[in-house]
Amino acid sequence: MERPDFFELKNGSKVKLPFSQTEYQNRLNKLRTTISKNNLDMIILTSMHNIAYYTGFIYCSFGRPYGCIITEKKIVTISANIDASQPWRRSFCDNVIYTDWKKDNFLKAIVSIIGKDEPPKNIGIENDHVTIETKEKLTSLFNFSKFKDVSKDLMKLRIIKSKEEIEIIRSGAKIADIGAEEIVKHIKVGASELEIAMTGRDKMELEIAKKYPEAEYMDTWVWFQSGINTDGAHNPKTSRKLVSGDILSLNTFPMISGYYTALERTLFLNNVDEASLKAWEANIKVHKRGLELIKPGVKCSEICHELNDIFAQLGYLQYRTFGYGHSFGILSHFYGREMGLELREDIDTILQPNMVISMEPMIMIPEGKPGSGGYREHDMMIVNDNGAENITKFPIGPENNIIKN
């Protein structure tokens, strides 16, 4: 029996996607305008975030390549046979499946989609994602073609959110609040970071399932850090058990059909010493001023400079650890960070309505110094015509977040 290198399989029926057909078509139309402006014959997408953005399909690679071919007339995903027909069911478009039993069947699937009669002269690829190996293979396969990086063009298209995107982001922010409320119920001396984090994660996944019963549920998570573990914003949870007087960092991250939202708060267990309270209040002062600065027409870098000045006046600038905020959207920032929209000194992007951005200052005072630990607060903002709307509602500060238990 001769087994195929690639094939199509429409097993079952198309399912309801997170966005309307009109939404996906609008995205595709804008992408095809980019294809035309850059004089491209096609774009080969390889990243999880862009394939999800344009098709609705979120792949799980496990070392296998995935792709999406977009021309003026076609949009087709390419997936591995291990996924069977799920990529077709959960996408806006057609799908070709490649098999594992011959080398480079992924490339053969690409050729099957575009055909051999009119080879493309100009191909757009994602230089910020495509591996060197894959790019070399594409160059060898299409040795008559020129390749152009379109990653920044695609990022700019994603930065401005649609009404449907903002709706799902709002839902995510509400669910992040719900997860945080659940976590606080379980904070007590002797409980472990892991035990506490699990309660928030489970609560959020159940809330997502209530709101979006036809979605896929993946990648919702919680970081709950205590004591020394608060020093890094992305430190994983551990089995460390809480003790009275601990600094705590609560971080909830619901993922809804590839759209990630976040809430972060500093807390203390039972009591807070004077040095820690001073550092905490300094970070909150910067956070609150940062929220006021987010509005259309303002440069990202200008916000950073003003907040740096406040930290310097308070004596904490040397303890700042990363940027003040970043864009939110499809699989961002865990997989598809929109680097052009970040609150950093070297980013001069001007804020515009329908951008979604966080305000999340953090300072980290090393062990052995008064007030040691990592302090951060994180709210999500939707930029509008007049300013920005804060969609994070969980309370902030010592008056709310010294947990007695």
- If you compute the radius of gyration of the chain from its CA atoms, what whole number of angstroms results? 23
> What are the percentages of helix, strand and coil residues in the chain, rounded to 5?
35, 20, 40
Pick from 161, 234, 157: nearest CA to 389: 161
The strand pairing partners of 356, in sequence order, are 382
Is residue 234 annotated as a catalytic residue, yes or no? yes
Provide DSSP, 279-338: HHHHHHHHHHHHHHH--TT-BHHHHHHHHHHHHHHHT-GGGB-S-S-BB--BTTTTTT--
User: 3-state DSSP call for residue 63?
Assistant: coil
Residue 284 token pair: 């909150």
- Enumerate residues 6+ apart whose C-beta is below 8 A from 116: none
Give me the catalytic one of 129, 186, 234, 378. 234
Residue 100 token pair: 């594992």
User: 3-state DSSP call for residue 204?
Assistant: helix
User: 3-state DSSP call for residue 381?
Assistant: strand
Query: Which residues are known catalytic residues?
Result: 234
